[in-house]
Amino acid sequence: MDKIEQFIEEKIKLEFRPIFLSFRTLIQNKFPHLQEEMRGGTEKYYGVPVYRNNKIIMTVSPTQKGITFSFTEGKKMKDKFGKLEGVGNKSLNLRITNFKYYSDELLEYYIMQAIEIDSIAE
């Protein structure tokens, strides 16, 4: 079992796994060039999956209430769905609390922008 599989098994609540697994399938099918890796992790805090184009463009974190997709350059992104939130200087988050709110179209919209912003930055 690889680190991501272990993460899913140990850290993501059963009810939220379909959100992450659908997201992961989207990445593999539409954005296979993105590198998936684990980042961080100490004795107190577990590492989380990150997705890299040139730089890390997003981090995925499970919470008690769902899955949070944190876009590194979220403040530079358009938000036609009105779903991004946060008060940081750079990153914004997309929180999905139930699989019925998951949409490939939604995630693809934000991921494509994140890739574009990262590509321009290089």
The CATH number covering residue 112 comes to 3.90.1150.200
d(CA 34, CA 25): 12
The mean pLDDT of 12-40, rounded to a whole number, is 95
Say which DSSP state 30 is in.
Answer: H
Local confidence band at 22 (pLDDT 50, 70, 90 cut-offs): very high
Local confidence band at 49 (pLDDT 50, 70, 90 cut-offs): very high
The mean pLDDT of 47-54, rounded to a whole number, is 94
d(CA 48, CA 102): 20
pLDDT value, residue 39: 87
Mark 5-21 as b/e (b = at least 16 C-beta within 10 Å): eebbeeebeeebeebbe
> Comparing C-alpha atoms, which of 76, 32, 77 is closest to residue 51?
32
pLDDT value, residue 102: 97
**Domain that includes residue 48, residue range:** 3-121
Structural domain count, the chain: 1
In the predicted structure, residue 122 carries a pLDDT above the cut 70 = no
In the predicted structure, residue 121 carries a pLDDT above the cut 70 = no
d(CA 111, CA 107): 6
Among 45-49, 57-61, 74-78, 117-121, the range scoring the smallest mean pLDDT is: 45-49
